[in-house]
Every structure is written in C-alpha cells, then in structure tokens.
Amino acid sequence: MTPDEIAELRSKSYNATVASIAFPNEDLMIVRVRPDGGVQPHRPGQYSTLGLGQWEPRVPGCQEEVQKPGDEKKLIRRAYSISCSMLDEAGTVPDRSGQDWLEFYIVLVRHAEKAPPALTPRLFVLREGSRLFMGEKIAGHYTLDPVKPTDNVLFLSTGTGEAPHNYMLWQLLRSGHQGKILSACCVRYQRDLGYLAIHQELTRRFPNYTYLSLTTREATSAGQKVYIQDLITSGQLEGRLGDTLDPARTHVYLCGNPKMIGVPEISKITGDAVFPQPPGVIEILTQRGFQRDQASLKLKGNIHVEEYW
C-alpha cells in the first residue's frame, strides 16, 4: 500500500488519540486513550474495544503473520477492560468522572496457539499522539452493582486481569466502602505487576484494603508455585482478609487466565456442571457455598467472572 492509501485508511478508521502511554516492562503497557467524541457513560468493570488496521507495523519478536489478500485493509478490534490508576500524581484517590480519556492495561501476546496474535503486536508500536480506533459502546455485566456497602469484596486475577478490578477498587475507595476489600494478582515475574506501587500505597492509607501478589517464575518461586487457587485452599486468603469467606456477605470477582477461573461446561447428557481439572476458583468456591452470577441466564450469584479468552 502507498503512504497516501495508508493515510486515507487511518483517517477513515481512527477516532481516538493516545493521550499518554507507559511501559512498566517492554511487554506491558498502561495506555490512556482519548476518543474524539468524548467518553461514553459507563461503570467501573466494563469494557470497550480498541482497534488498529492490518496495515500497521508490528513490533519485532512476535510470531509471524501471513496476510491473506484483501486483509491488508481490515481493522483489527479486540475487547479491553477499562483500567484505572487509583491514585493520581498528588497521591489522592482522584475524581475521575470528568476525564476525557480511558485507561487500559495491556500485555503483549507474542505467540498464540490458534493463530498469530493480530492486535497486541501492533498496539505496542503506539506512542503518545498516535491515532487508533476505539469502540463507542462500553458494555459488560462485570460491575459492582450487586455489592452492598458492608459486603467483603475479593478481586482475584492473573496478569492484566487486574484491569477491571483496579477501576472497581477505585469506585469502592471513592465511595468509602465499609466492608473489607482484598486484591490478589498472580503473575510470572515481579516486573509484571504494573500497579504494584499504587496497591502498596493504598494498603497504607485504607485499613480495610489488603493487597497480595504472587509470582510464579522468579527464582524464589521455583519448585513452590502458589496459584490463586492455593491461596484459598490453604486458608491464607482468609488469614490476610481477616475474615471468613462467608457467601452471605462476600462477592468474588475473577478475571484473567481461564485455568485460574475454571468455568464449568454443562454436560449435554446429564445437564450437570463439569469443572475443568485441576480445579479453578469457581469449583473451589462453589464447594464452599458460593454461586456463579450469570447475567445471560438471569442467575444471581456472588462469583463474578470476566472471560478474556
């Protein structure tokens, strides 16, 4: 494609600008995107879409892509949960309601099993001022709507799965939530904890907030991997929360690696829920009296799930 054709495609397809971008490590970004038409009304926990054209360059070191003829003019779109830096530069939990940008927390997928990753290798070329596509619709049922002011709230994630939790955490802290709040995030390496310093500062400021991080591939964790599931089964989670996991007054939010979450399949023969093995958090909590919330089936529950893949 000629530079003029690319310029025309960009101008036709893009409706947003990168307001700022930071890279906690070379495979992780915190990007703020300003849509031309203003930020649509939304609730913490929801997601939007970001997109870039097939014609855009990809960062080196990613699985090669074979473009089919005709693909080069297509726009690649993916869903992204809206994240939030819970503290501002002044060290306060800010009023983010009037902001003209949204924050996203994205990991670079270098290799994928089914097909080469299309969007993230292109997103990691973005810099401040770059143009991109942002979907106008902000959607999702993964919100704090069912939480009462005195309920305990647990945010359990792997990797960038903490994105929607950070925005919901901001909402709880801003509203003076009275129940206990605990965030736990499991990552490969310490450097993958893009919001670590903010979480640590929040635990100093808010007595009802607890933060736990787990790393699985540091030399110190070799041979003794602890996953989110292990935190629950060992009792460590309740210990750090300082309370029991009582289904009557606890909401659990799960986001990230599907194996950590463990969504059951419904058997076509018996209609029973068949959990993947080894157990994910849903199975462990179901055995302790929790129930999955399923908006699509109008089933209310206290385990809330966002499925990234």
Ligand X SMILES: NC(=O)c1ccc[n+]([C@@H]2O[C@H](COP(=O)([O-])OP(=O)(O)OC[C@H]3O[C@@H](n4cnc5c(N)ncnc54)[C@H](OP(=O)(O)O)[C@@H]3O)[C@@H](O)[C@H]2O)c1
Ligand Y SMILES: Cc1cc2nc3c(=O)[nH]c(=O)nc-3n(C[C@H](O)[C@H](O)[C@H](O)COP(=O)(O)OP(=O)(O)OC[C@H]3O[C@@H](n4cnc5c(N)ncnc54)[C@H](O)[C@@H]3O)c2cc1C
Q: Among ligand Y, ligand X, none, what does residue 132 contact (CB within 5–8 Å per kind)?
A: none
Tell whether residue 117 is a contact of ligand Y (CB under 6 A). yes
Q: Closer CB to ligand X, residue 111 or residue 204?
A: 111
Of the candidate residues 21, 107, 231, 245, the single one contacting ligand Y (CB under 6 A): 107
Pick the closest to residue 225 from 209, 210, 236, 214 (CA basis): 214
Tell whether residue 228 is a contact of ligand X (CB under 6 A). yes
Tell whether residue 23 is a contact of ligand X (CB under 6 A). no
- Beta strands (DSSP E) in the chain are 16-25, 28-35, 47-53, 75-81, 102-107, 131-134, 152-158, 181-187, 209-215, 250-256, 265-266, 273-274, 303-307
φ, ψ dihedrals at 65, nearest 5°: -115, 140
For 247, counting Cβ atoms within 10 Å of its Cβ (0-12 exposed, 13-18 middle, 19+ buried), the class is middle
Tell whether residue 259 is a contact of ligand X (CB under 6 A). yes
Of the candidate residues 101, 105, 155, 209, the single one contacting ligand Y (CB under 6 A): 105
Residues 109-128 that bind ligand X (CB under 6 A): 109-111
Of the candidate residues 18, 27, 156, 241, the single one contacting ligand X (CB under 6 A): 27
For 236, counting Cβ atoms within 10 Å of its Cβ (0-12 exposed, 13-18 middle, 19+ buried), the class is middle
Site string for ligand X, 163-202 (x = CB under 6 A): -----------------------xxxx--x----------
DSSP 282: H
Place of tokens 């093995």: 277
Of the candidate residues 46, 85, 130, 158, the single one contacting ligand X (CB under 6 A): 158
First to last CA, the chain: 32
Of the candidate residues 181, 260, 284, 305, the single one contacting ligand X (CB under 6 A): 260
Residues 70-109 that bind ligand X (CB under 6 A): 107, 109
Tell whether residue 257 is a contact of ligand X (CB under 6 A). yes
φ, ψ dihedrals at 135, nearest 5°: -60, 145
CA pair distance 246, 285, nearest whole angstrom: 10
- Which among 75-83, 84-92, 95-103, 176-184 is the span making contact with ligand Y, rule CB under 6 A? 75-83
Q: Among ligand X, ligand Y, none, what does residue 106 contact (CB within 5–8 Å per kind)?
A: ligand Y
Pick the closest to residue 65 from 4, 1, 114 (CA basis): 114
Q: Among ligand X, ligand Y, none, what does residue 80 contact (CB within 5–8 Å per kind)?
A: ligand Y
CA pair distance 302, 293, nearest whole angstrom: 6
| Chain residues in the site for ligand Y (CB under 6 A) | 47, 78-81, 104-107, 109, 112, 117-120, 159-160, 163, 306, 308-309
